[in-house]
Amino acid sequence: MSECPLLDENGIVHRTCETDDVLRTLASARRREIVSVLEASDENWITVDELARAVSATGDDGWEGELHHVHLPMLGEIGLVDYDRHGRTVRYYRCDLVSSVLEAVDAEISSIQ
């Protein structure tokens, strides 16, 4: 398996993750939506409330429980985020593979519509 570097805000490798883990994690439309919000941010961190509002702005409400109990922990397992449940913040680590996957999925969705 190949590994993907996860970069902090200074472009320094924080850690690596497995390509298959990234692809498996981004198979969920919900997690792609969350990561898209994180990717679009100029900052490397966001509060959970801000993230929930940004994702809910896309038209889907009532899933904050999934955000806390499923999606953020999964993103944390592979190292894309550090999720502080008590401080209610999310720190995002950038990954070129994630950006490429999001672009490819967006392009495919656009070509279908």
Q: How far apart (Å, rounded) are the C-alpha atoms in residues 110 and 93? A: 27
Share of the chain above pLDDT 70, in %: 93
pLDDT band at 63; cut points 50, 70, 90: confident
CATH (domain of 60): 1.10.10.10
Domain housing 40: 3-112
pLDDT band at 109; cut points 50, 70, 90: confident
Q: Which pairs from 47-53 meet CB under 8 Å and 24+ separation?
A: 47/88, 47/89, 47/90, 48/72, 48/88, 48/89, 48/90, 49/88, 51/90
Please give the tally of structural domains in the chain: 1
The mean predicted confidence, pLDDT, of the chain is 89
The pTM score is 0.87
- SS3 category, 80: coil
Residue 39 is predicted with a pLDDT of 93
pLDDT digits (tens, 9 = 90+) for 70-94: 999 999 999 999 999 999 999 999 9
